[in-house]
A and B are shown apart, each in its own frame.
Chain A
Amino acid sequence: MPQLFSNKRLILLLLGVILLVALISYSLRDRGNVSPPEQVIKDAVGVGQSIFSGPAHFVTGIFDNVDSLLNTYEENQHLKARLEEFASVQAEVKDLRTENAELKEIVGKEEDLRDYNPIQATVIARNPDQWEEKVIINKGSSTGVKENMAVMTASGLIGKVVLTTPFFSTVELISTQNPNYRVSAMVLGGEKEVFGLIEGYDAERRELLLKRVDAEIELEKGQQVVSSGLGGIFPKGILIGEITEVTIDEFGLTNLAYIKPAAEFSLLNHVIIADRVAPEVNGEDNGETEDAAETEEDGS
């Protein structure tokens, strides 16, 4: 039997492993920016990927259409039932909108956390190995996409931008296991708005966790949760989901609520990136700015 590894090969193998570990640990660090060669590769692969994803979306679009055609009758019944309700709600919304605009004019308030410039984008790929919940979209820093911006579909928040290259960006979905992924949120439907943080995702229940809500506040099933805009990056009022269960967290001090996300995470196609009009802060959407963190460190 021939010797599997000669001495020379063994040394090469060892060197390879060392290089590998170095590379992995380099890239595992939380990197804000990607290096220029990586950007070039990302953009080049992205172009090829868009060529393939176009026809794929076309085909899935056809299946979607057939699917919705089959449900037309039921849907129509349902919609008819809602139609009358809708007309009155619409009139009310119109009325409230004009009133809101007038009141804002009176107090001279121009900026609103709710305002954002939507950037339309198409999902061209999903990380195929699905260990990290990431998708790639076809808009990058050249169209004004920046890191940490909120990404949503028509039905609700799906994630945030984590990396940008000139023409493409990577979006980390809200269903990630990443412990550093936080979104400041608020619960609607009570007497007052209740603030908390979306922190973590229960993979088994496939629901988000809303933490850091005062234990004295009563939360109810079915209440809607939206982004609060107080984190400094996301605009206010993007729908996140609906409360399905309320419990007490592991320390018994605050409420913990399970939230069923409003958006579907599979078969993503068109997404909207929210570029907030109000000034943004650096860092994550959890109210902690990088500057604040630095001063904290200095102070301690």
Chain B
Amino acid sequence: MIRFWIPLIGLALFFMEPIFGLFSPLQLDGGFYYIVPRFLIMFLIFIAVYYDLKHAIYYGLFFGLLYDVFFIDIIGLYSFLYPAICLAAGYIVKSIHRHLVVTTVLTLVLTALFEFILYQFFRFISLVSMPLDVFLNTRLLPTMIANSLFLLMLGWVFKLVIDARLIEREKNPRLS
């Protein structure tokens, strides 16, 4: 049964992102802070690191396409970036130790990179005109704080599920 857990968790995270998005922008001391939930990409990076790069890329392609069509109507943006980030994670992890702390840091760095690439893209098509410092202060920083909290709370659960799946796959190689 564990083999279905990974896609189901992915699906649940995909649907949870827009709901957390409803709380944003957050108002604190008269300033507005945007918090962008990036749960799915963090989970995908965990899959790429601990489970299987190929699976991570397929999931990335699938969820990226859904994201593109449903939310932003620019097809090809997330469906390219999700697999690309997974690919980067897959290459980086070959040369580092797969400890949970290391993976968490790597995931956060890649998520920040992901956010930054998106910012550059939307600036490029001149959908936004936000200066860089405003972006860093009101979007990237709060987003990364919130997402690292999420990852600190649930990162070990991701790892637990993926490890369970790996054990199952070893026992039963035909099911992979």
Contacts and interface: CB of A to CB of B under 8 A. Distances in A.
Interface of A: 4, 16, 19-21, 23-24, 26-28, 31, 34, 38, 41-42, 45-46, 48-49, 51-53, 56, 60, 123-132, 134, 136, 163, 170, 177-178, 203, 206, 266-268
23 contacts: A23-B76, A24-B75, A41-B66, A41-B69, A45-B66, A48-B15, A49-B18, A53-B19, A123-B22, A126-B22, A128-B18, A128-B36, A128-B71, A129-B36, A130-B21, A131-B72, A131-B118, A134-B71, A170-B73, A177-B128, A178-B127, A206-B32, A266-B25
A266 B20 contact: no
B158 interface: no
Contacts of A53: 18-19
A247 to B, nearest CB: 20
Interface of B: 11-12, 15-27, 32, 34, 36-37, 65-66, 68-77, 80, 91, 118-119, 122, 125, 127-130
A268 B21 CA distance: 11
B19 A125 contact: yes
B36 A130 contact: yes
Given A41-B69, A131-B128, A203-B130, A126 B18 contact: yes
Given A20-B80, A27-B76, A38-B69, A127 B18 contact: yes
Contact of B129 (A27, A51, A177): A177
Given A130-B21, A130-B24, 5 more contacts: A27-B73, A28-B74, A41-B69, A130-B36, A134-B71
Contacts of B23: 266-267
Contacts of B24: 126, 130, 266
Given A41-B69, A45-B70, A206-B32, A128 B20 contact: yes
A175 to B, nearest CB: 10
B127 A131 contact: yes
B20 A20 contact: no
A52 B16 contact: yes
Nearest to B17: A128
Contact of B118 (A19, A46, A129, A178): A129
A127 B127 CA distance: 15
